[in-house]
Amino acid sequence: MVVTSAPGKVILLGEHAVVFGRPAIALAIGLRSRCRAQIIDDHIGSVDRIGVQHGSYISTAIHCSWDGGPLDIEIQSQLPSGSGLGSSAAVTVATLGAIASLKGEFDEETIARQAFEVESVVQGRASPIDTSVSAHGKGIFISSERGSDLLWHISKDTRNWYIHDCEVPDMTLVVGFTGNKAPTGPLVAKVKRYVDHTRFAREIIDEIGDITLEGLQRMRSGDVEGLGRLMNRNHGLLAILGVCTPPLQKLVDAALPHSYGAKLTGAGGGGSMIALTDAPEKVAEAIKGRGGIPFIVGTGVEGVKVEE
Ligand code: PMV
């Protein structure tokens, strides 16, 4: 029997612009999915104890990476599904990690690549942000160009992603989940229409790319205040692109008086926001007061791992 776990994520800077080849920064967070896997005796019978929640990710992961005997798989997750916090990636990565460990072939990069394939099969068009950061942990910088600290390069069709390790200073984030699940696809399509038709939207995408590059420098120098200001600017630009919603904006406004910066994270249209703060309890209270579900999360957490 083996138990593995893998973290969820937030996108700190650069969502949506990353779809157009601009860079993005994603951080692993201290909310994890756990997988317990065991090869069961053929004679016992029961093969399928997969829960409904992430069933298609788990069965695809097994299909892609396991040809041994029947498996008993049990998943537990601290990540609410549909919250934009990478719950499906964390479940997929933890499951693939457990299978790799059963095979004696546990390797972060291989797990990241397989997990991206699984997400692509189940979701259709996916980017490898969630799966790569869940496998690697800490932080990743994703870009269409190769830079220093390269972890791996993933390509699909004509698309290319260079995944780099990104130093993460000690910081506390508060996540505020609106409780509204929002599918990523329609929001990406909405932004694409805007970008295809207006120069103004293309300039916004470029500006988000510049903000992300500056954010990388601020992270390296541990400038939390500067990073917070960049998050605020990034949020304003995402709002102009039309992916913020009134409930998200309410949570951002509630967090701001006690934060260095706050922004929606992920696709928007619902889902979650994040605030960078050194007063996490106050921010969590403020988020709760506006009807959100707060999670105080540490960063710099480990990626996929085998639990003791
Ligand atoms: O909320 P999520 O985890 O689905 O994040 C989506 C991030 C986008 O940039 C909007 C889309 C993508 O595939 O990069």
The pLDDT confidence band at residue 123, using thresholds 50, 70 and 90, is confident
- Please work out whether the CB of residue 227 comes within 6 Å of at least one atom of ligand 1: no
The pLDDT confidence band at residue 98, using thresholds 50, 70 and 90, is very high
> Residues 68, 92: one domain?
yes
Residue of the CA atom closest to atom 12 of ligand 1: 127
- pLDDT value at residue 28: 97
- Please work out whether the CB of residue 188 comes within 6 Å of at least one atom of ligand 1: yes
Mean pLDDT of the chain: 93
pLDDT digits (tens, 9 = 90+) for 164-220: 999 898 899 999 999 999 888 889 899 999 999 999 999 999 999 999 999 999 999
Domain boundary among 135, 167, 199: 167
- pLDDT value at residue 153: 97
- Whether the Cβ atoms of residue 118 and residue 99 lie closer than 8 Å to each other: no
Report the candidate in 143, 167, 196, 200 with the shortest Cα–Cα distance to residue 18.
143
Q: Does residue 105 fall inside a structural domain?
A: yes
Query: Is 55's pLDDT higher than 90?
Result: no
- Whether the Cβ atoms of residue 298 and residue 31 lie closer than 8 Å to each other: no
Q: Total domain count for the chain? A: 2
Q: Which of 6-15, 144-153, 183-192 has the lowest mean pLDDT?
A: 183-192
CATH number of 196's domain: 3.30.70.890
Q: Does residue 308 fall inside a structural domain?
A: no
- pLDDT value at residue 127: 84
- pLDDT value at residue 54: 79
- Please work out whether the CB of residue 267 comes within 6 Å of at least one atom of ligand 1: yes
Ligand 1: distance of its center to the CA of 28 in Å? 15
Domain boundary among 167, 199, 227: 167
The pLDDT confidence band at residue 82, using thresholds 50, 70 and 90, is confident
The pLDDT confidence band at residue 46, using thresholds 50, 70 and 90, is very low
Q: Does residue 304 fall inside a structural domain?
A: no
> Residues 232, 111: one domain?
no
Element (H, E) at 174: strand 172-177
Catalytic annotation on 157?
Answer: no
How many whole angstroms separate alpha carbon 303 and alpha carbon 59? 22
Ligand 1: distance of its center to the CA of 40 in Å? 37
Report the candidate in 23, 12, 6 with the shortest Cα–Cα distance to residue 273.
12
* Section 99-111 average pLDDT: 96
Domain region containing 99: 2-167
Q: Does residue 144 fall inside a structural domain?
A: yes
Interior angle at CA 192, CA 83 and CA 147, nearest 5: 80
- Please work out whether the CB of residue 16 comes within 6 Å of at least one atom of ligand 1: yes
> Residues 133, 40: one domain?
yes
Give, as one character, the DSSP assignment of residue 272: E
* Section 209-238 average pLDDT: 97
Domain boundary among 133, 167, 201: 167
* Section 16-24 average pLDDT: 92
* Section 229-247 average pLDDT: 97
What is the pTM assigned to this prediction?
A: 0.94
- Please work out whether the CB of residue 84 comes within 6 Å of at least one atom of ligand 1: yes
**Which is the catalytic residue, given 130, 170, 210, 253?**
130
Query: Is 47's pLDDT higher than 50?
Result: no
Q: Does residue 178 fall inside a structural domain?
A: yes
* Section 274-282 average pLDDT: 98
* Top mutation candidate among 9, 87, 127 for ligand 1, by most atoms within 8 Å of CB: 127
